[in-house]
Amino acid sequence: MNRHDERYEVLLSGSGGQGIILAGVIIAEAGISHNLKVVQTASYGPESRGGASRSEVILSGEDIDYPAVTQPDFVIALTQEAADKFAPRVRPGGSVLLDSTWVEKPPPDVQATIASFPLTEEASNHFRKPLVANIIALGFFAERNPLLGPDEILQAIIRRVPSHYRELNEHAFAFGRELAGRKTA
């Protein structure tokens, strides 16, 4: 947590269609079930159709006044552009998760634990659905964030995804949790 104001900030970024907004919504909904105050915002408009997209989540035990991320505790970046732009903004000591399928060069000078996995590739290989990369990322996040438990996040996923994809998403989520246990590639 940012000690100065008791907020935990997550910044998810990628390109339109990678399910960044949905992942943010899921974290926020898990936050609500954990009785936290939440704010989720997204860049939208033309950006959400292919360009760089960004989704921010703020979790706090208190009312959240300022509704934008100031210094993210956790950054998830699914493209090189997103990584270059947002990873350096992470709070010293925070966490960064990169999708090495697209992020070839992790940005230098990031004072945080960087984990890098080929999320999209793994999603294609294991689940034949590159789209579940975001759910894998959520599994990883579930293991590495200090506030929300995996079950809260999983329940939020189940509430949000179509029921016939439930099993697929459960597997993807479990896979992401498992990645968190591995040494970073």
Partner 1 sequence: MGGAKGRTVLLQGNEACAMGAIYAGCRFFGGYPITPSTEIAEHFARKLPTVGGVFIQMEDEIASISAIIGASLAGVKSMTATSGPGFSLMQENLGLAAVLEAPVVIVNIMRSGASTGHPTGTGQADLMQSRWGTHGDHPVVVLAPATAQEMFDLTVKAFNISEKLRLPVVLLPEAVVGHIREAVYIPTEGEMEVLDRKRPDSYENLLFFRRDENGVAHPPDLGTGHRPHYTGLTHDEDGFFTAEPGKVNAFTVGLNSKLELHSDLLTDYREDAVEDAEIVMVSFGVTARVCSHITRSLRKKGVKAGSFRPRIVWPFPEKRLKQIAQNAHTFIVPELNLGQMRSTVQCAVGQDKRVVGINRVDGTMLTLERTLEEVKKVLN
Interacting residue ranges for partner 1, rule: CB under 8 A: 5, 25, 28-29, 31-32, 37-42, 44-47, 64-68, 70
d(CA 80, CA 103): 4
Both tokens of 86, joined, read 């947002």
d(CA 61, CA 37): 6
- Smallest CA-to-CA distance from 144 within 181, 184, 185 is with 181
Question: 54 vs 117, which CB is nearer to partner 1?
Answer: 54
d(CA 155, CA 100): 27
Question: 29 vs 73, which CB is nearer to partner 1?
Answer: 29
Give the helix/strand (H/E) hosting 12.
strand 7-15
Q: How far is the CB of 100 from partner 1 (least distance, A)?
A: 29
d(CA 173, CA 148): 14
Q: How far is the CB of 52 from partner 1 (least distance, A)?
A: 14
Question: 42 vs 115, which CB is nearer to partner 1?
Answer: 42
Q: How far is the CB of 32 from partner 1 (least distance, A)?
A: 5
Q: How far is the CB of 86 from partner 1 (least distance, A)?
A: 15
Question: 48 vs 95, which CB is nearer to partner 1?
Answer: 48
